[in-house]
Structure formats: structure tokens, C-alpha cells
Amino acid sequence: MKQSIVRSIEGLYEDRTLELVRIAIRKGFKPIEIFKWLQIGMERVGKLYETSDYFIADLIFAGIIFQEVMELDELEAITKVTPKNKIGKLLLFSVFGDCHDIGKNIFGSFARTAGFEIIDLGTNVSLNEVMNALERIKPDIIGLSGMQQETVYEMRAIVCEMISRGIRDDYRIIIGGAVINDKTEQIVGADYATKDVTKGVEKCKTWMQEKTSQKNNSK
């Protein structure tokens, strides 16, 4: 089942992926197992995009398939976070000028499964909206997404505004999207930049472990 589901989502077969997942559920495979198989398939789609074998439309369509599968009742339950298993609060959004949300949504789904409470501001979010949200929500981590090169400057503007307000060091900042390259993290002033959803979520988990450890040591 694993390879069939991985290859199906990698090949962008919408109906087949949904049917295979339903079969896997009926056969008794655990939802978290199926989720991991979907994750592998999405990672392969991402690699095909990076090598230009897939285009942005393919990446978006893969995200749509993923979202449809995750809306199945049996899988939707694994993304629900309760106070008991919550490890941190993560604010997500696509920066001003960017209306793409598939990558952001996928990252949010993975992070929620890891135990994060997700507050999603949506797409095309202005600088003022971000500042207001930070004051209101007080997240542990801020996740910025961008697909076009121009969005790098919007990301940088957010970080600069945080510095000017004296709040930059209060938050960890992770950035992702097609815009990411070797220099983006430094240009923006983020703590971490990645196109890999898995690595991004693992980094966020590490930050929360460090934060918890620091709190315990200060007691």
C-alpha cells in the first residue's frame, strides 16, 4: 500500500490517491502511517519541482490532492491539537503580494500533526496585519511563505519592523516557498529557511524543546 500511495500522489493522480487511502483505511492501516506515506509523496513532488520536471501548477495540484485526502474523517483527526499535546503556537501567512497558499497549508498540516497550534492569517498579508497579529496572538514561531522573488523584500520589511519595535528576539522566524535559496535566510534575517516541510517542522520542534529547557533551567 505504501508504495502505491506514494507513487499515486507523486504522479498527481487525484481520484486514485483518494481511493487508495480509503482502501488502506479499510485494511486497518493507522492514519499516522498513511499520513507519512502522503508526506513522502509530497516530498517527491517537491523534488520534481526543484528539478523543473514539474511546474508550479503541478505543485499546487499536488497540494490540492493532499488537502482533499487530509479532509477524510479518519485522517482529519490526527491533525487536531489538544491542550494536552500542544507544544507551541505557530503563526503562518503568505506575505503581501503573494496569493499562493498550498505550500503554507501543507506545512501547517504537518506542524499541526507535530503538536503545534496553528494560527493561519491566509495570503497577501500586509505588514500592519502581521504586527497586529503578533501583539494579539503572541506566537512562539512565525512562518512566512513566498513564491515570487519580490516577496523576499516583504519578508525583510517584516523583520526590519520587528527590529525597530524591539521585538525581533521575542520570536523565531522560519521562511519557506519557491523563493528560498542559499542567500534568502541571510537577506531576510530569518532564523531558518527551507523548502523541505519535514526539515522545517523538525526545526520548529527543536526550537520549542530549547525554549522549554530554558524555562526549566530558569526556575
DSSP codes of every residue in 169-215: GGSEEEEESTT--TTHHHHHT-SEE-S-HHHHHHHHHHHHHHHHHHH
**Cα→Cα distances 210→19, 69, 189, 199, Å:** 41, 33, 20, 16
More confident residue, 109 or 167: 167
More confident residue, 30 or 214: 30
Cell of 184: 534568502
Domain spanning 88-218: CATH 3.30.565.10: no
CA dihedral for 127, 133, 138, 142, sign (positive or negative): negative
Strand locations in 1-133, DSSP E?
A: 88-94, 116-120
More confident residue, 27 or 213: 27
Residue 83 has pLDDT above 70, yes or no: no
CB 27 within 8 A of CB 1: yes
- Whole-number average pLDDT of the chain: 88
Residue 144's pLDDT band, with cuts at 50, 70 and 90, is very high
88-218 has the same fold as 2-79 = no
Domain spanning 2-79: CATH 1.10.1240.10: yes
Q: Is 183 exposed, middle or buried (0-12, 13-18, 19+ CB in 10 A)?
A: exposed
Torsion of CA 146, 148, 153, 157, to 10 degrees: -30
0.85 exceeded by the pTM? no
Residue 60 has pLDDT above 90, yes or no: no
Domain residue ranges of the chain, discontinuous segments joined by +: 2-79, 88-218
CB 69 within 8 A of CB 17: yes
